[in-house]
Amino acid sequence: MADLRISFAGIKSPNPFWLASAPPTNSGYQVQRAFEAGWGGAVWKTLGEPIINTTSRFAALSFNGQRVAGFNNIELITDRPLEVNLKEIYETKKRFPNHAIIASLMVEPKQEKWHEIVKRVEDVGVDGLELNFGCPHGMAERGMGAASGQVPELVEKQTYWVKEVAKTPVIVKLTPNITDITITAEAAVQGGADAISMINTINSLMGVDLDTWNTIPHVAGKGAHGGYCGPAVKPIALNMVGECARNPLIDVPISGIGGISNWQDAVEFILMGATGVQVCTAAMHHGFSIVEDMLDGLNNYLDSKGIASIMDIVGKAVPKYSDWGDLDLNYKVVARINNDVCINCNKCHISCEDTSHQCIDMLKNENGEPYLKVREEDCVGCNLCAIVCPVEGAINMVELKQPLPKMTWNERQSNIARFKIDKVAK
């Protein structure tokens, strides 16, 4: 039994799985059900001035029959009175003193508004605060959410205001709707954030109905951009977490969010620098019970690797994530086809022939049976064939030992520069 407890910026949680601020954490009833099911923490549905929501609100992307590959919403923050939420937070914390309850907050970018709400939520006993600078729709038009999250100065200033009064750890939730997330992450750190969380949802339009020409979803025939999340956004979120984790100026813990659906996804985020994870879409798709396998799978994974505590793997893959300029230009892999496993669909051939480097030959053996072979000298090792190949083990990318030693682009450029300087010196 591995130790799954985490300490996230001082916030203790029985395990790294938290529900993200969203419909699953809308009420005390829901959060308590979630804790009973095994979730370690919950970030309450964002509190602020109650708003009015539209119907409908959600849409999802089905990809080749897989439902909810991506998920889109135009929901705003909580539509329940603050007092009701505060009362339920208080009751929930009392029933589950060892679980983490974080209040997600969003108010107008005014110092007194932040001071006021921070005091009110801390009075009911939350374990931490999450500042929602990320909601991409509706609130942004009122100068909140992503609108303030996209402006580094506003991120810094508002974080600072919160820190002026906050007694519990402050997490800043960042929007991905920005060119370089490390800029706003740095601003949060500058403002005094104890931690950051990412990502909130990505600007999106799910689709257009081919018959009515309505947007999907639409509200009485009109649509507005929504926020995208779910499995499809995981690579985007993982990169943002990795970029922040490897940035020395962003030296605060990270809560990873975005497309996490199972323990494997969680392990990836944790290895890439997250100290815990938050989940929304997967819970919305399947219910709270999915956490059971998240816990069991994570525990079995750690046990099988002989790792005593989840905290021991936080950030272990970060040193492997660097810049393109640090990659070894003399490393070479090529595709190799295992004809015993290959089912001769020729997808590798045509993808290479039409869209890569024309190096998979369609041949016939002495019995006239077709087989495929890679001309390794022409293969650039792009992985495309292995990606399109439907059969596990039919194409392996194998390393070819190179006579030349490791040489990165940066090393190459500095060698050239030194060569020039040497020449000048001479």
Ligand X SMILES: Cc1cc2nc3c(=O)[nH]c(=O)nc-3n(C[C@H](O)[C@H](O)[C@H](O)COP(=O)(O)O)c2cc1C
Distance CA 23, CA 27 (A): 8
| Residue 408 binding ligand X, by CB under 6 A | no
Mapped onto helix, strand or coil, the DSSP state of residue 392 is: coil
286: contact with another protein by CB under 8 A: yes
The answer for residues whose C-beta is within 8 angstroms of residue 108's C-beta and 6 or more apart is: 142, 143, 144
Residues with Cβ within 8 Å of residue 348, at least 6 apart in sequence:
335, 337, 360, 372, 385, 386, 388, 389, 395
Single out the residue of 53, 262, 339, 356 in contact with another protein (rule: CB under 8 A). 262
Which of the residues 200 through 259 are near another protein (CB under 8 A)? none
Which residues form the catalytic set? 135
Residue 71 found at the interface with another protein (CB under 8 A): no
- 240 binding ligand X? (CB under 6 A): no
343 binds, among another protein, ligand SF4, ligand X, none (CB under 5 to 8 A by kind): ligand SF4
Residue 337 as a binder of ligand SF4 (CB under 6 A): the answer is yes
What is the rounded distance in angstroms from the CA atom of residue 294 to the CA atom of residue 298? 6
Torsion, CA 131, CA 136, CA 289, CA 312, rounded to 10 = -50
80 or 347: CB nearest another protein: 347
Q: Which one, 14 or 23, has the nearer CB to ligand X?
A: 23
Closest CA to 114 of 50, 49, 158: 158
Asked if residue 394 binds ligand SF4 (CB under 6 A), the reply is yes
Identity of the residue, 108 or 376, whose beta carbon is nearer to ligand X in the bound complex: 108
**Which residues in 375-414 are b (16+ Cβ under 10 Å) and which e?**
eeeebebbebbbebbeeeebbeeeeeeeeeeeebeeeeee
The maximal CA–CA distance of the chain, rounded, in angstroms, is: 83
Task: Count the alpha carbons within 13 Å of 354 in the hemisphere toward its beta carbon.
Answer: 6
Q: Which does 286 bind (CB under 5 to 8 A by kind): ligand X, another protein, ligand SF4, none?
A: another protein
Please name the residues in contact with 421: beta carbons below 8 A apart, sequence gap of 6 or more: none
- Pick between residue 54 and residue 344 the one whose CB is nearest to ligand SF4: 344
Contact 260, 282 (CB under 8 A): yes
Q: Min. distance of Cβ 277 from another protein in angstroms?
A: 14
Amino acid at 235: P
Site for another protein in 264-283 (CB under 8 A): 264
Amino acid at 212: T
Q: How far is the CB of 63 from another protein (least distance, A)?
A: 12
Report which of 335, 316, 259 is spatially closest to residue 68, judged by C-alpha positions: 259
Site string for ligand X, 200-239 (x = CB under 6 A): xx---------------------------xx--x------
Say whether residue 365 binds another protein (CB under 8 A): no
Q: Contacting ligand SF4 (CB under 6 A), which of 144, 254, 266, 348?
A: 348
Residue 31 identity: V
Decide: helix, strand or coil at residue 380: coil
Q: Which of 262, 344, 356, 396 binds ligand SF4 (CB under 6 A)?
A: 344
Closest approach of another protein to the CB of residue 232, in Å:
16
Cβ distance 169 to 10 under 8 Å?
A: yes
Residues that bind ligand X (CB under 6 A): 20-23, 45-46, 71, 73, 75, 77, 104, 132, 134-135, 173, 200-201, 229-230, 233, 257-260, 279-282
* Interface ranges with another protein (CB under 8 A): 66, 262-264, 286-287, 289-290, 292-293, 296-297, 300-301, 304, 391-392
